């Protein structure tokens, strides 16, 4: 399979040409009928390759070991770069140059830290020839490789893993109620064209909303959603006491059209289950007490 614009060799199912950046779906693709999922995905949608492989301008990617222990493998052409959260790198070729910086200056770093991210952004660049870099999240789970086409997405701050260096990543106010839900005050807005890697705790469930359709998601299970999708934060049940008694705190109510990515597990809920099994500080009667002094 070759690019109809520049003739470069392409991977099966590729959406972008790695040589010239031409979007292949625009080359003679028959428009889907109105109301079908394919037609919706082209107009809006979250584009994720079914085989978890693809390519863009200056890179190829593949997601391996899904869905429990996913690893994103990025093949960079010479002098091409990709950015990632600090600590996301698993391995890289010897010729990959790593630089960490406070993106957006001091104010940008403060906003990132307030949003639950690292204040620093890591940039990986292949020097002198092609190179490989691999990324993985800190918790077991899946990785979704989203190909943005001049779109905007909201991403839960803990779910952002890596992205094309040309993408704009900004921290946005997520609403005061999210603070009381323990989910942080901010979300990330990612805009532009290129590869975006998001991670989940557990598997990723995809939900498509039709125009006007409303859908409620626990904030601890959110991964990412389209910027065209409207959302509000509210209590899960009427009244603060009923909401707390239900075991559900703050939820996000979305209104379509748009698509959502939802993680099947909640890291905060797991931490709550494990908490009784950890000793409390200052507790006596259990554990070892070793006195190294005289």
- The pLDDT score that the predictor gives to residue 233 is 84
Token pair in block for residue 209? 């909303």
Give yes or no for residue 78 having a pLDDT over 90: yes
Could you tell me the pTM of the whole model? 0.72
State how far the Cα of 259 lies from the Cα of 14, in Å rounded to an integer.
Answer: 22
Rounded mean pLDDT, 271-280 = 78
Model confidence pLDDT, tens digit, residues 20-62: 555 565 444 333 333 333 333 333 678 888 889 999 889 999 9
Q: Cβ–Cβ contacts within 10 Å for residue 63, how many?
A: 22
CA-nearest of 180, 174, 161, 162 to 115 is 174
Token pair in block for residue 161? 């893993």
Based on the number of CB atoms within 10 Å of its own CB, is 286 exposed (0-12), middle (13-18) or buried (19 or more)? exposed
CA-nearest of 111, 112, 239, 235 to 178 is 235
Q: Answer with the residue of higher pLDDT: 33 or 267.
A: 267
Q: Rounded mean pLDDT of the chain? A: 77
């Amino acid at each position: 399979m070759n690019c109809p614009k520049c003739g470069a060799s392409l991977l099966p199912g590729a959406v972008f040409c790695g040589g010239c950046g031409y979007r292949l779906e625009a080359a003679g693709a028959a428009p889907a009928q109105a109301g079908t999922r394919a037609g919706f995905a082209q107009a809006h949608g979250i584009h994720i390759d079914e085989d978890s492989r693809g390519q863009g301008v200056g890179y190829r990617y593949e997601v391996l070991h899904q869905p429990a222990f996913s690893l994103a493998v990025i093949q960079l052409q010479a002098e091409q770069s990709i950015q990632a959260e600090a600590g996301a790198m698993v391995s890289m070729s010897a010729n990959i140059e790593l630089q960490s910086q406070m993106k957006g200056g001091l104010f940008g770093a403060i906003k990132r830290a307030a949003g639950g991210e690292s204040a620093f952004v890591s940039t990986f660049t292949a020097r002198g020839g092609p190179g490989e870099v691999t990324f993985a999240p800190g918790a077991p789970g899946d990785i979704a490789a989203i190909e943005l086409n001049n779109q905007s997405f909201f991403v839960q701050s803990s779910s952002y893993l890596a992205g094309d260096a040309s993408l704009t990543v900004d921290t946005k106010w997520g609403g005061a109620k999210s603070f009381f839900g323990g989910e942080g005050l901010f979300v990330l807005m990612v805009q532009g064209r290129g590869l975006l890697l998001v991670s989940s705790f557990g598997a990723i469930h995809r939900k498509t909303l039709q125009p006007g359709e409303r859908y409620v998601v626990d904030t601890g299970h959110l991964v990412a959603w389209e910027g065209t999708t409207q959302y509000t934060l509210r209590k899960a049940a009427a009244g603060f006491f009923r909401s707390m008694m239900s075991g559900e705190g703050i939820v996000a109510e979305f209104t379509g059209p748009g698509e959502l990515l939802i993680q099947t597990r909640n890291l905060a809920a797991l931490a709550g289950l494990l908490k009784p099994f950890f000793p409390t500080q200052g507790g006596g009667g259990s554990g070892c007490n070793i006195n190294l002094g005289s």
